[in-house]
Amino acid sequence: MTWARRIGTNGVANAAAAVVVALTIGYAIVDPPGPSSPWPAWSAWPVAAVVSLPIALRRRRPRAMLVLACATATAATLSGAVAAGMIWLTFVPTVLALYLVAATASATWSVSGLVACALAATGAILLFYDQVLPGLPPPATPSELPPYWPVEIGTICVFLLACWGVGRAVKWKRETTARLVRHLSEAAVADERRRIARELHDVIGHSMSLIAVKATVANHVADERPQEVRAALAVIERTSRGALTEIQRVLGLLRSDGDLAEPHVPVPGLADLPELADHARSAGVEVELTVQEEAALPPAVAVSVYRIVQQALTNVITHAGPTRCSVTVAIGGRTAAIEVTDDGPRHGRPPRAGRGGGHGLIGMRERVKMYGGTFDADFRPEGGFRVTARLPYDDQPDPLP
């Protein structure tokens, strides 16, 4: 509807411009400042209409209308049907058509059109002043504007060059805007891919770490304690089912181009933190969870808090477990504060490699950075590891990271 309305508005504007130019050219032919045309007076209006017609149709076929406008203006000039001293008015439709060609066509086409129109106008005016004008009857009254071919040619060339330059500037701006929009779209797609990759990393990393730990336990006690094997398999089954559900949710975003904030898409939040703690406990980590919630969190911040705690517990399970771990989440003052500490591996076992880096810490740091918060992760002097994060937020709903 908007596109059709725009086409209609442009068509009316072009038609109105064509009528105005035609009336101006016709009046100049009927009452010229110099010698009158040998054609009958009534012919001024058909000539003006034919010369101005390309203005009304120039948006449909810009290049064809440029050729038509230049050809009709040249023919009218060579035939003597124009107003001596005001020939440049006859080439106004050519100027307007050239602007549209410069704004829409390639540089080669627009430059060729500029040069061809300038040469055609120059040649036509020179021939008019050399062959047609001497045969015209002198004006009855002194000329208001003596015919002078350098002025005619200069005026037309200046108009042609000016409109061509404006058209090229408009084309450059449109192309620059299109490239910017395309760049922003590509950046948005890249951000969405990173967001989904981060979600998958958190889901798969946490679940697979827990499954690996329970599978190792089941393998070691398979002969002596079959009851623990069944318990480990139950944890593996529950964890794998939960992971599949989360993976399907995240992959559903790829199929639907949706957003995590959509109502029909379930997202984790603070209410799911106890389940995270239970998963870690089943992997041999003694988790002490404390949630101090003085105000409701926006959904986006709640997901970030959940993912940071999830990744921190995954690192504890992978690199330090079995051990003791403390998780504290404090919500208040428009800030979500998270602290996850562990005592390090028991029995003096050194921590496994990779504790101080990797994609997990990078993902947590990126989530905090999106809210302009602070993040720190380092080994504790007394042993173990600490992860702290502060996420400031306001009361407005934010897009989920």
| Residue 329 pLDDT | 93
| Residue 118 pLDDT | 92
Q: What is the pLDDT along the chain (401 residues), one digit of tens a residue?
A: 444 444 456 778 888 888 888 888 887 777 777 666 677 778 888 888 888 888 888 888 888 999 999 999 899 888 888 877 778 888 989 999 999 899 888 888 889 989 999 999 999 888 888 887 777 666 555 555 556 788 888 889 999 999 999 999 999 998 888 888 888 777 766 776 676 666 666 666 666 666 766 676 666 666 676 666 666 666 666 667 666 666 666 666 555 544 444 444 457 788 889 988 888 887 778 899 999 887 778 877 888 888 889 888 888 887 776 889 999 999 888 899 999 999 888 765 555 545 555 567 877 888 888 888 999 999 988 888 999 999 998 754 444 44
3-state secondary structure of 250: helix
CA–CA gap between residue 156 and residue 129 (Å, rounded): 15
* Torsion of Cα atoms, 60 then 66 then 70 then 71, to 10°: -60
| Residue 230 pLDDT | 66
| Residue 356 pLDDT | 53
**pTM score, two decimals?**
0.51
| Residue 182 pLDDT | 82
> Which domains are delineated in the chain?
2-182 (no CATH), 270-401 (3.30.565.10)
| Strands (DSSP E) found in 283-347 | 286-293, 324-332, 335-342
Q: Are 54 and 91 in contact (CB under 8 A)?
A: no
